[in-house]
Structure 1
Amino acid sequence: MTFTAALNVLKNQSLPTLVQEELERMIMEGRLLPGEQLREVALSALLGVSRGPIREAFRGLEEKGLVSPVKNCGVFVRKLDLVEADQIYEVRETLEALIGDKVARRIDADGIAQLRDIVDKMSDAVAAADINRYTALNFTYHDALARLSGNPKLHATYQRLVAELSLFRRHTYIHDETSMALSLAEHRAILEAVVARDPAKVAGLLRAHVGDSRARLHQVLDTSRQSTEQP
């Protein structure tokens, strides 16, 4: 459902919640970049809502670690420190392994079909070199795994943890042309292990996938830093 359609329905969610979800999606897809100021007037016009829900959405995004208010200056998309990112990756490795183990033990045909559909769309995004689309689908894939674990608390914990990584994830794909293709291959391998109902393999592949993602991020940032330091 598009934002406009959701806005017209408003069945089970409040307007500030819908606005927050849309702003979070814009951050994840790179339409709002780290360090960018979020202006209430412009966003109100863009989303067709008053400034009140925008302000409430800002508070929700701040709680999730996606934006930072600066006194007398406004609200900005947060710039995540690499040390913080490393800490998140460390915790994520353990969570992903647990999620993978649980999913492989309880996945059904419908769950497998959901994952296959996401991977097919990821493949299309890679073929089109669509970084924004691939980034969003990457999050959708891992969120689906967490949801399919059958543990709502685990799913919620995972969502809170990885939201902040969206501030870095797209950066990797922009600066490394092979990164999306490598990521896609890893996601396919994880899916194959899920289909085979192999908990240990799924857990191991997810743990390795997180480690590889972390290593790619460091490599990209190191390369970027070296290029800026050259005379």
Structure 2
Amino acid sequence: MEKLEATRSAPTAVNLQRQHSLATQVRREIERMIEAGELVSGDWINEALIASQLNVSRGTVREGCRSLQETGLVHVIVNRGAFVREVDAKEAAELYDLRAALFALAGRTLAGKITKTQITALTKMVSKMDKLAGTGDTEGYYRENRLFHDSLLEYAGNARLTEQYQSYARELQLFLRKALMKPGRMAESNEEHRQIVELLASRDAAGAASLMEQVVLNVKARLFGDS
């Protein structure tokens, strides 16, 4: 009898695992939509539409939304559904301060351990961004800029730091998508990148930390008119 019960319960466990996997896919897709600006702060998340697009059940979409609520990206209202959370200016400014502090820590950590291979990789990214800035390709520059920042965090080797930094970055996507810079600003931004690589290569931990903190605070100042 016990063997029969175990046999009957096995498919249920498999189904639950499959549903969890699908919910993770839904979560990633909604995150992508927010990042791409397809969903913005305050938008209602259409469960039926997403379920149809991804060929999953509405329950799976609902589970994905509940998961996103834990990250602060989505707000679920009983009997109304899930909405992209709204972040006001005060909260966004605080997130920039926290992000700046973490980026400084990444710079201080990385300066003492960066390898020649990593310096070469970062230098190549800076060169690529020079070309993108020269052609006015803001979307391309934005992607490469993100890769540069992500690489600095990865090279620092602190998984918890990276996780928290990326969490703040995702929440800031809810505030606005002004990260795309004007052509003139791209060249200025990339000069900061070049200086970061130089400071890291020279093992200047204090200098790298200071500049990497300032890079994030500069973005905050431009957005909130503090400069």
Question: Could you tell me how far 1:197 is from its partner in structure 2?
Answer: 2.9
1:219 is the counterpart of 2:220: no
Question: Could you tell me how far 1:101 is from its partner in structure 2?
Answer: 0.9
Question: Could you tell me how far 1:17 is from its partner in structure 2?
Answer: 2.2
Change (3 A) 1:137 1:109: same
* TM-score, normalising length: structure 1: 0.74
Change (3 A) 1:32 1:119: farther
1:187 is the counterpart of 2:209: no
From 44, 54, 57, the equivalent of 1:47 is 54
SS in 2 for 1:80: coil
Q: What is the number of equivalent residue pairs in this alignment?
A: 207
Q: 1:161 is matched with which residue?
A: 168
SS in 2 for 1:69: strand
**Range 148-157 or range 165-174, more displaced:** 165-174
Q: Is the 8 A contact 2:27 2:65 kept in 1?
A: yes
* Sequence identity percentage: 38
Q: Is the 8 A contact 1:112 1:195 kept in 2?
A: yes
AA at the equivalent of 1:173: L
* TM-score, normalising length: structure 2: 0.76
Q: Is the 8 A contact 1:28 1:166 kept in 2?
A: yes
From 208, 211, 215, the equivalent of 1:209 is 215
AA at the equivalent of 1:129: D
CA distance in 2, matches of 1:16, 1:67: 14
Gaps of 5+ in 1: 1-12, 221-231
Change (3 A) 1:54 1:201: same
Change (3 A) 1:111 1:46: farther
Question: Could you tell me how far 1:156 is from its partner in structure 2?
Answer: 1.9
Q: Is the 8 A contact 1:89 1:214 kept in 2?
A: yes
AA at the equivalent of 1:212: N
Q: 1:9 is matched with which residue?
A: none
Q: 1:97 is matched with which residue?
A: 104
CA distance in 1, matches of 2:93, 2:115: 34
Q: Is the 8 A contact 1:28 1:136 kept in 2?
A: no
1:142 is the counterpart of 2:146: no
Q: Is the 8 A contact 2:88 2:175 kept in 1?
A: no
Gaps of 5+ in 2: 1-19
AA at the equivalent of 1:211: L
CA distance in 2, matches of 1:192, 1:119: 11
AA at the equivalent of 1:68: H
1:38 is the counterpart of 2:32: no
1:124-143 CA distances to partner (integer Å, 9 max, x unpaired)?
A: 65435344x54444443323
